[in-house]
Structure 1
Amino acid sequence: MKPLDAIIVGGGVIGSSIAYYMSARGMKVILLERDRVGSQASSAAAGMLAAQAEIHEAGPMFDLARASRGLFPQLATDLSELTGIDIGLKRKGLLRVAVTDADVAEIQRTLAFQKTAGEQAEWLSTEQVRQREPSISSEIRGAMFVGEDSQVDAPELCSAFAHAAAVLGAQIKEFTEVKSLLLDQGRISGVMTSEGTLYSDRVIIASGTWSGPLLAQARLTCPIYPVKGECFSVLSHTPLIQSTIFSHGCYLVPKKGGRIVIGATAQAHCYDRKVSLGGISKLLEASKHLLPGIIEAEWEKAWSGLRPQTLDGLPYLGEHPHWKGLYAATGHYRNGILLSPMTGKLVADWAEGKTEKDLSLDSYRVDRHENVHLKKEGVPS
Structure 2
Amino acid sequence: MGKTRVVIVGAGVVGLSAALQLSEAGNYDITVAETDHIGSGSSSRSVGIVETQYIEHFDIEVRAYGHRFIRALAEQSDLQLHMNGYLRLADSDATLGQYELSVARQRECGVGDAQVLDVDDVKALIPFMEMSDRAGALLGASDFYLDGYLFANLMAARARDNGVTVLQRARVLECEWTADGEAELRTERGTLHADLVVNAAGAWAGRVGEILGAPVTLYPELHHAVTVVSKTAAASRIPSVMDYVPGDGAEGVYLRPEGESEFFAGLHSEQASRSAVDLDDVPLSAVDGDFVAALAESFSTRFPGLEDAQLGSGWSGLFPMSFDSRPLVGPHPANEQVICALGSGGNGIQLSPAIGRTVVEYVRGERPSMAAPGSDWDPQRMPANPGDIAGIQQSTPTSGVRE
The two structures share one fold, judged by TM-score above 0.5 = yes
Partner of 1:137: 130
Task: State which of 95, 99, 102 in structure 2 corresponds to 1:107.
Answer: 95
Deviation at 1:173, TM superposition (A): 1.8
Partner of 1:246: 242
Task: State which of 170, 184, 206 in structure 2 corresponds to 1:212.
Answer: 206
**Structure 1 pair 294/185, CA: closer, same or farther in 2 (3 Å)?**
farther
Partner of 1:21: 21
- Is contact 1:219–1:372 with CA below 8 Å preserved after alignment? no
**Structure 1 pair 106/208, CA: closer, same or farther in 2 (3 Å)?**
farther
What code does the residue aligned with 1:302 have? Answer: G
**Structure 1 pair 214/371, CA: closer, same or farther in 2 (3 Å)?**
farther
SS at match of 1:144: strand
**Structure 1 pair 178/4, CA: closer, same or farther in 2 (3 Å)?**
farther
Partner of 1:66: 64
What code does the residue aligned with 2:85 have? Answer: G
**Structure 1 pair 104/334, CA: closer, same or farther in 2 (3 Å)?**
same
Name the CA distance, whole Å, in 2 between partners of 1:229 and 1:295: 26
- Is contact 1:10–1:206 with CA below 8 Å preserved after alignment? yes
Name the CA distance, whole Å, in 2 between partners of 1:218 and 1:206: 12
Task: State which of 325, 329, 340 in structure 2 corresponds to 1:317.
Answer: 329
- Is contact 1:287–1:294 with CA below 8 Å preserved after alignment? no
Report Cα offsets for 1:210-253 as digits up to 9, x if no partner.
11233234553321111211101234555135211110221111
What code does the residue aligned with 2:88 have? Answer: R
Name the CA distance, whole Å, in 1 between partners of 2:97 and 2:322: 26
What code does the residue aligned with 2:200 have? Answer: A
Partner of 1:179: 173
What code does the residue aligned with 2:154 have? Answer: A
Name the CA distance, whole Å, in 1 between partners of 2:149 and 2:260: 16
SS at match of 1:127: helix
Partner of 2:82: 90
Q: Where does structure 2 lack aligned partners over 5 or more consecutive residues?
A: 108-112, 245-251, 387-403
**Structure 1 pair 42/295, CA: closer, same or farther in 2 (3 Å)?**
farther
Name the CA distance, whole Å, in 2 between partners of 1:23 and 1:149: 28
Spell out the pairing of 1:115-126 with structure 2 (5 A cutoff). 115=103, 117=105, 119=107, 121-126=114-119
Name the CA distance, whole Å, in 2 between partners of 1:356 and 1:290: 41
1:159 aligns with 2:160: no
What code does the residue aligned with 1:367 have? Answer: Q
Q: Where does structure 1 lack aligned partners over 5 or more consecutive residues?
A: 374-381
SS at match of 1:37: coil
1:44 aligns with 2:45: yes
- What number of residue pairs does the alignment pair up? 359
Spell out the pairing of 1:215-226 with structure 2 (5 A cutoff). 215-226=209-220
- Is contact 2:220–2:319 with CA below 8 Å preserved after alignment? yes
Partner of 1:378: none
- Is contact 1:204–1:327 with CA below 8 Å preserved after alignment? yes
Aligned-residue CA RMSD in angstroms? 2.8
What code does the residue aligned with 1:335 have? Answer: N
**Structure 1 pair 245/138, CA: closer, same or farther in 2 (3 Å)?**
same
Name the CA distance, whole Å, in 2 between partners of 1:284 and 1:162: 38
Question: What is the TM-score when the length of structure 1 is the normalising length?
Answer: 0.83
- Is contact 1:9–1:206 with CA below 8 Å preserved after alignment? yes
1:127 aligns with 2:120: yes
Deviation at 1:92, TM superposition (A): 3.0
**Structure 1 pair 197/226, CA: closer, same or farther in 2 (3 Å)?**
same
Deviation at 1:95, TM superposition (A): 1.4
- Is contact 1:190–1:200 with CA below 8 Å preserved after alignment? yes
Percentage of matched positions with identical amino acids = 25
- Once the two structures are overlaid, the 10-residue window that deviates more, 115-124 or 89-98, is 115-124
Name the CA distance, whole Å, in 1 between partners of 2:55 and 2:346: 15
Report Cα offsets for 1:4-49 as digits up to 9, x if no partner.
7321101211112122222344643221111222122112211122
Task: State which of 264, 283, 291 in structure 1 corresponds to 2:303.
Answer: 291
**Structure 1 pair 23/97, CA: closer, same or farther in 2 (3 Å)?**
same
Partner of 1:261: 264
What code does the residue aligned with 1:242 have? Answer: I
Name the CA distance, whole Å, in 1 between partners of 2:85 and 2:363: 35
**Structure 1 pair 155/283, CA: closer, same or farther in 2 (3 Å)?**
farther
Name the CA distance, whole Å, in 2 between partners of 1:28 and 1:235: 48
Deviation at 1:265, TM superposition (A): 5.2
Partner of 1:379: none
Report Cα offsets for 1:60-117 as digits up to 9, x if no partner.
4343233333322212223x1xxx4x2x32333221224xxxx124522422431553
- Is contact 2:11–2:38 with CA below 8 Å preserved after alignment? yes
Name the CA distance, whole Å, in 1 between partners of 2:298 and 2:365: 48
- Is contact 2:96–2:137 with CA below 8 Å preserved after alignment? no
**Structure 1 pair 3/352, CA: closer, same or farther in 2 (3 Å)?**
closer
Task: State which of 334, 338, 341 in structure 2 corresponds to 1:326.
Answer: 338
Task: State which of 74, 77, 91 in structure 1 corresponds to 2:75.
Answer: 77
Partner of 2:248: none
